[in-house]
Amino acid sequence: MAKPPPTELVKPLSDSERAKSLRETLERAPDRSALRVFGYGSLMWNPCFDVIERRKSKLHGYHRDLSIWSVFARGTPDCPGLGFGLEEIPGTLCEGIVFTLPQMTTAADLMPLWEREMWTGSYSAEWVSVSIDGADVAALTFVVLPDHFQYAGGLSLAEKAGYVAAASGKYGACYDYVADTVSEMKKQGIEDPDLDELLAAVERIQAE
């Protein structure tokens, strides 16, 4: 079973490390003239970049889960919450939102995204192929690193619900983070029965 990371390990990347990651990711972009970002968690309802179009999309071979210890945004080192991660698992499917960014988007415009998603380097920024109404396009997304100290894979439903119910961080309660994500997914016609079940379990704990 995954365990919360020791407090002494919870250190952010330096500004130079984050800038290097952003620069190298953009250098690998299949097409700089059409930048897209695939959101599968809070980005769906709270993007931190300019958007000219958003579309529901499918990413094959990846699974969304609460698989990252949140020790700052939605929890603390002593009472961690959980954040959404995307993990490559053959045969799975993740539905989300693809955002198309303005053509003149620069690295500076994307730095707020890097500060949010690459705060401690728990993700790998990857270019993936997503499907929009049967057409495949390249999009940037953030895939969890299973060997990172914040990886929280392997938790049971009951364990996840317990952490989500108890945790709160700089940006509010972990429950609100999950509930807002599920609410936006329903608005967009995106179904995820596992998340519905988890949210119901959290609400049962809160009602006790």
Q: How confident is the model at residue 108 (pLDDT cuts 50, 70, 90)?
A: very high
pLDDT given for residue 5 in this prediction: 63
- Residues 134-156: what's their mean pLDDT? 94
d(CA 71, CA 6): 10
- The pTM of the full predicted model, rounded to 2 decimals, is 0.93
Taking the chain, what is the end-to-end CA distance rounded to the nearest angstrom?
26
Q: Does 8 have pLDDT greater than 70?
A: no
Q: What is the DSSP letter of 155?
A: -
CA distances from 138 to 133, 141, 171 (A): 14, 10, 31
CATH of 10-207, one of 1.25.10.10, 3.10.490.10, 3.40.190.10, 3.30.300.180: 3.10.490.10
Q: Does 6 have pLDDT greater than 80?
A: no
How is the chain split into domains, by residue range? Answer: 10-207
Residue where the block lists tokens 């990252």:
68
Residue at 167: amino acid letter: A
Q: Cite the active site residues.
A: 117
- Residues 126-143: what's their mean pLDDT? 96
